[in-house]
Amino acid sequence: MRVIIQRVSSASVTIDGKQINQMGEGLLLLLGIKRNDTEKEVEYLVNKCINLRIFDDKKGMMNQSLLDLFKKPECMVVSNFTLFGDTRKGRRPSFVLAAPANRAEELYNTFIGEMKKNKITVHSGTFGSHMDISLVNNGPVTLIIDTDNISD
């Protein structure tokens, strides 16, 4: 599983010219699901995303997490299979590492459910749709977490 985390002042999702979701300050999470991912990776990433200290404290240091800073923490989760695009050969990316759509959607929904269990207000896109994502990256702060790089 791979997530691109962006600290945002605002974010929105538009499909076919109609805005379906929007949020203020919080995190935008672009979530890619790999072929062999399981609920274990979901649990790890949810915990990491909500507790990662990437928001400024009163001294301007990145020392607070989404849970620390906000009374009503918000995030937007958008599925993005292209995070597993392999561009090493040729000019067209290969997506063989990405999970099949049915499994990816299941884990995507599990991820959202786990975020909600942690009292996060979750906004999302529509799985499998072509979406326009608008955001104001605050900082800018953008991080990538890949569960292939974690150690037990």
What pLDDT digit, counting tens, does each position of 16-43 carry? 999 999 999 999 999 999 999 999 999 9
Q: Taking 90 as the threshold, does the pLDDT of residue 70 lie above it?
A: no
pLDDT, tens digit, 9 for 90 and up, residues 96-108: 999 999 999 999 9
User: Of residues 82, 126, 142, 147, which has the active-site annotation?
Assistant: 82
CATH code of the domain containing 6: 3.50.80.10
Q: What is the DSSP string of 113-132?
A: HHHHHTT-EEEE--TTS--E
14: containing domain? 2-149
Give the whole-angstrom CA distance, residue 54 versus residue 66.
8
C-beta neighbour count of 134 within 10 angstroms: 13
- For 24, other C-beta atoms within 10 Å of its C-beta total 12
Instruction: Provide the domain count of the chain.
Output: 1
User: pLDDT tens across 112-144, in order?
Assistant: 999 999 999 999 999 999 999 999 999 999 999
Q: Does residue 14 have an active-site annotation?
A: no
Q: Is the bond leading into 100 cis (omega within 30 degrees of zero)?
A: no
What pTM was computed for the model? 0.94
